A and B are shown apart, each in its own frame.
Chain A
């Protein structure tokens, strides 16, 4: 059994995870001494910011899909599903944002859980799409 390693997909995943989640968390961690605030990811992203990051991820994969040599019908279907799941992830942030702007500042613990789980969905679908893109590019090169 030959294991094939999609380097491009792992590179893409690492880049987004580093700049989307780790970088803000590390920045906050470096400021901990001055502000004295808690730095757990749950507190940092409690307003559902991970969901918004999910939408950005989905858009980046749609741009990659546009550049691929796949049939238009397949590109449109994949893009629709990615954008749809990205929007659902972003809705977790939007719900919390609307609640705060209406003056209901009480944080909902479900926002963090929902945004985290929906980001997992977007990340998995986006990663698999990147793997599929790399696979098809390799097959067509042969």
Chain B
């Protein structure tokens, strides 16, 4: 049993923060370029997808696919065989990040719709829903966080686990020396 666990530990793919950072940075730059190339059309397209209700499902599918492909690329580059645990964790973490942003966007949408009520004096601007500028900003943040944060959490967990393992090994060596 312990042999099996040790072999699994050896096969675990070590993820580095910088692996995801490059992809997140490239996606962010592409987003900026799309906004520069067609500022009005890009904002309107996002707004239309949001109104149709396909915005967050589409974003989730895209981000999960991107993260899984990146994981396969990392494990191939390091010539390691990926297990099933890390990709599943990555997918769950990505979905959680997108759910957080979904909550934020719907809160901002509700906030904008409440501006119609006259007993909210703080709202000086009456709007039908979330503005396209806010949606643009939230989409950018969700995309970058959806790629970077899951890998960061996996990395932190791997650091913690490897630290605990090396501490265990140190303790065993110390006990063996004390026994002799």
Contact = CB atoms under 8 A, between A and B. Distances in A.
Contact of B24 (A110, A114, A121, A135): A121
Interface in B128-158: 132-134, 136-138, 140-141, 144-145, 148, 152
Prevailing SS type, chain B contact patch: helix
A16 B140 CA distance: 22
Contacts of A118: 17-18, 21
Contacts of A117: 18-19, 21-22, 25
Nearest to A127: B32
A9 B33 CA distance: 12
Contacts of B40: 2
Contact of B145 (A4, A74, A81): A81
A77 interface: yes
Interface string A98-131: 0000000000001001100110110111011101
Interface of A: 1-6, 9, 70-71, 73-74, 77-78, 81, 85, 88, 110, 113-114, 117-118, 120-121, 123-125, 127-129, 131-132, 135-136, 139-140
Nearest 9 A/B pairs, CB to CB: A117-B18, A124-B25, A121-B21, A124-B28, A136-B133, A121-B25, A128-B32, A120-B25, A4-B39
Given A3-B36, A73-B111, A74-B108, 15 more contacts: A1-B37, A2-B39, A71-B134, A73-B108, A77-B104, A117-B18, A117-B22, A120-B25, A123-B25, A127-B29, A128-B29, A132-B35, A132-B133, A132-B136, A136-B137
Interface of B: 16-19, 21-22, 24-26, 28-29, 31-32, 35-41, 43, 104, 107-108, 111, 132-134, 136-138, 140-141, 144-145, 148, 152
